[in-house]
């Protein structure tokens, strides 16, 4: 049996799966936590990777790849040392920089045309502008900028020093920087210089099936990719598949055959890990909405689940706008959450639990609609992520999305996608190996009309927040 490993370096932890390269069957697993926060010493990711791989987890592995959290900013000096802690995707301090960059470059439509996406605080390009403005001494030491998965790939290859050509990335993760264009497959050095004030080195972009190199032990290392691209690859997604992921963040994305450029900024026009494209909508608030609500109610996630299943559709009129950490879509980085529809009758634990589930899912239902406006024709909707295991989520989702929802067996699909990429690179060929997707639970909508009413009430609360912030409402 030929073994390959996939490494998912996410916001919260490192997860590793070791798979049979021919079938995708997982034969070993490892996991280790990451520090909390929105800025992290990248060395913590490396320590977590080593911890997750301890006990001989990677023995006999022939190839590996890393799928990492998107957008983070890792800046290196001339000696390839890390200049400052990495700013993560969920750090919103660069929201003002995003607005400035949009204005300086001719508006949102110009950015969408240039790189397929409109900058928000999550994107690396905005974090570089923040660094240049707020930490000029650190900025002056910067020679190159990497994404989290790029940095881990360089550590696996033991390339802390060397020329810029020694630093590599892939098109999927590069497409989330704000200075690489999926439509042309090239860096926009003018936008990078606009953001940072001068030119800095960027990693070489490898093809989907191209090797990054080998470890000191001769293990092949693939290009790696971003976490959402890894999930699509791990699920074997094809054109028409819409994936809704309920993790730390919420994402809705679809494999697409052509690049997109949404001037509203709602849909990010990313590339995928196979040579195609991955239009995506992201929300900052997903599974942690449920954990925060459970804590408020003095229970755990299982308790929240039981309460939400007792609540009626529409939560008795309660609407939770779940912008607990600000929000990325809609672009309201300084927003807070709100709870409306409070009456003596509606103020029950069951209704609050139900409102948390409905509020989280309504934001993702809006995201799926935004994808369809960009030409995505959904063939099926796949629901993944930790919160997809919730019985209440599974009950509510089909009616809110208004369509059949398929839930794959719980698996680390980001890590599985990285492993599948490693198997592809190891074997060669025009396409990744055909790994069977674990069994699907297919859920049918039972009350689309109530789902529409819930979404209408949510839409009113969302639009109030947008108007209060001086933003336009969705068309």
Residues noted as catalytic? 227
- One DSSP character per residue, 155-178 reads HHTT-SSS-GGG-EEEHHHHTTSS
Contact 156, 221 (CB under 8 A): yes
Q: Is 99 exposed, middle or buried, given 0-12, 13-18 or 19+ CB atoms closer than 10 A?
A: middle
CA 247 → CA 74, 134, 288, 383, distances in Å? Answer: 23, 31, 8, 11
Q: Which of 279, 462, 292 is nearest to 376 (CA)?
A: 279
Integer Cα distance of 55 and 36 in angstroms: 25
Q: Which of 142, 218, 201 is nearest to 167 (CA)?
A: 201
Q: Which of 449, 417, 452, 414 is nearest to 435 (CA)?
A: 417
- What pairing do the DSSP bridges indicate for beta strands 380-384 and 405-408? parallel
Q: Which residues contact 134 (CB under 8 A, 6 or more apart)?
A: none
Q: Which residues contact 194 (CB under 8 A, 6 or more apart)?
A: 101, 104, 105
The dihedral through the CA atoms of 48, 54, 57, 58 has a sign that is: positive
Question: Phi and psi dihedrals of 199, rounded to 5?
Answer: -75, 140
Q: Which residues contact 450 (CB under 8 A, 6 or more apart)?
A: 313, 314, 399
Q: Which two tokens stand for residue 281?
A: 């909508």
3-state secondary structure of 394: helix
The alpha-helical segments, DSSP class H, found in 176-324 are 189-196, 227-235, 287-296, 301-310
CA terminus-to-terminus distance, the chain: 53
Contact 73, 93 (CB under 8 A): no
């Amino acid at each position: 049996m030929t073994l390959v490993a996939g490494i998912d370096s996410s916001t919260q932890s490192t997860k590793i799966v070791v798979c049979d390269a021919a079938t995708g069957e997982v034969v070993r697993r490892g996991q280790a936590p990451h520090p909390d926060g929105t800025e992290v010493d990248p060395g913590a990711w490396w320590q977590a990777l080593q911890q997750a791989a301890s006990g001989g987890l990677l023995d006999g592995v022939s190839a590996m790849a890393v799928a990492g959290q998107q957008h983070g900013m890792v800046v290196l000096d001339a000696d390839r040392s890390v200049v400052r802690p990495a700013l993560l995707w969920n750090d919103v301090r660069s929201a003002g920089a995003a607005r400035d960059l949009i204005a300086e470059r001719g508006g949102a439509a110009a950015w969408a045309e240039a790189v397929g996406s409109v900058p928000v605080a999550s994107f690396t390009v905005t974090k570089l502008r923040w660094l240049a403005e707020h930490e000029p001494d650190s900025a002056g030491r910067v020679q190159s900028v990497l994404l989290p998965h790029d940095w881990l790939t360089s550590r696996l290859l033991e390339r802390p020093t060397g020329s810029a050509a020694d630093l590599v990335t892939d098109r999927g993760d590069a497409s989330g920087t704000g200075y690489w264009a999926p439509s042309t497959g090239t860096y926009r050095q003018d936008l990078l210089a606009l953001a940072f004030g001068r030119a800095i080195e960027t990693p070489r972009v490898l093809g989907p099936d191209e090797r990054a190199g080998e470890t000191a032990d001769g293990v092949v290392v693939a290009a790696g990719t971003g976490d959402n691209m890894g999930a699509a690859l791990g699920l074997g997604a094809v054109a028409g598949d819409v994936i809704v992921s309920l993790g730390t963040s919420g994402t809705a994305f679809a494999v697409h055959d052509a690049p997109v450029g949404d001037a509203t900024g709602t849909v990010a026009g990313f590339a995928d890990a196979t040579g195609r494209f991955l239009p995506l909508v992201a929300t900052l608030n997903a599974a942690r909405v449920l954990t925060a609500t459970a804590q408020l109610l003095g229970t755990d996630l299982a308790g929240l689940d039981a309460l939400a299943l007792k609540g009626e559709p529409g939560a008795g009129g309660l609407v939770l706008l779940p912008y607990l950490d600000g929000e990325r879509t809609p672009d309201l980085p300084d927003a807070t959450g709100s709870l409306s529809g409070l009456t003596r009758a509606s103020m029950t634990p069951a209704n609050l639990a139900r409102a948390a589930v409905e509020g989280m899912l309504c934001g993702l239902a809006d995201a799926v609609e935004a994808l369809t406006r960009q030409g995505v024709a959904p063939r099926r909707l796949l629901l993944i992520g930790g919160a997809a295991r919730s019985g209440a989520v599974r009950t509510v989702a089909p009616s809110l999305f208004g369509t059949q929802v398929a839930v794959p067996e719980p698996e680390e699909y980001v890590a599985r996608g990285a492993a599948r990429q490693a198997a592809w690179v190891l074997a060669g060929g025009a396409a990744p190996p055909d790994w069977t997707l674990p069994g699907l639970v297919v859920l049918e909508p039972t009350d689309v009309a109530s789902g529409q009413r819930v979404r209408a009430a949510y839409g009113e609360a969302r639009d109030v927040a947008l108007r209060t912030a001086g933003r336009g409402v969705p068309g």
